[in-house]
């Protein structure tokens, strides 16, 4: 979810400064938490913060009925490169992924982390992972 929302932020030339995670359990108890971040539209920054917030809220003993992500405190403008966290390779990667999404659709390319697959040394010939 976060990856798709981050793409939409970048395509609309917006940045976010607040991430909110909402979880509703099977008994309809709803819990929400949010945090402020430096203005960003980068997948790796937003995904890491969303995972932190999710881990604070998630109770393994309860079934999840609904989960939501919200970005707020949006501002217009392009991403300013952070000298210590962003590299030229990451910026080029996001630009290439965004071009592919524009050409082939939102689901054309995604990060392997977001697929939920176990990607430990998979052997395509045997079909086994080690």
How many structural domains is the chain composed of?
1
The phi and psi torsions of 123 (rounded to 5 degrees) equal: -95, 110
pLDDT value, residue 55: 93
- Residue 22 confidence (pLDDT): 96
Phi-psi map region of 102: left, alpha, beta (phi>0 left; psi -120 to 50 alpha): alpha
- What's the pLDDT score for residue 117? 53
Classify residue 111: in a domain, yes or no: yes
Local confidence pLDDT in tens for the 130 residues of the chain: 888 898 888 889 899 999 999 999 999 999 999 999 988 888 888 999 999 999 999 988 889 999 999 999 999 876 666 656 667 777 788 778 888 888 888 777 776 665 555 555 555 666 665 5
- Structure confidence at residue 81 (pLDDT): 62
Full domain range(s) for residue 30? 2-116
Note if the pTM is more than 0.75: no
Q: Would residue 112 count as lying in a domain?
A: yes
Alpha-carbon distance 55 to 59, whole Å?
A: 8
Nearest to 7 by CA among 124, 110, 90: 110
* 47 and 67 Cβ atoms separated by less than 8 Å: no
Is residue 121 in a domain? no
Q: Residue 130 has what pLDDT?
A: 54
- Does residue 67 belong to any structural domain of this protein? yes
55 in a domain, yes or no? yes
Half-sphere exposure of 12 (CA within 13 A, CB side): 11
CATH number of the domain to which 93 belongs: 3.30.1490.100
**pLDDT of res. 59:** 85
- Residue 123 inside a domain? The answer is no
Alpha-carbon distance 81 to 87, whole Å? 8
């Amino acid at each position: 979810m976060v990856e798709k929302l981050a793409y939409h932020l970048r395509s609309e030339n917006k940045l976010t400064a607040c991430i909110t995670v909402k979880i509703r359990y099977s008994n309809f108890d709803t819990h929400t938490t949010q945090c402020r971040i430096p203005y960003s539209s980068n997948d790796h920054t937003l995904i890491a913060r969303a995972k932190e917030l999710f881990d604070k809220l998630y109770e393994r003993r309860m079934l999840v009925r609904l989960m939501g992500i919200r970005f707020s405190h949006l501002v217009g403008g392009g991403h300013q490169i952070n000298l210590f966290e962003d590299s030229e390779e990451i910026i080029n990667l996001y630009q290439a992924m965004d071009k592919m999404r524009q050409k082939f659709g939102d689901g054309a390319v995604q990060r392997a982390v977001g697929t939920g697959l176990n990607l430990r040394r998979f052997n395509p010939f045997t079909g086994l992972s080690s």
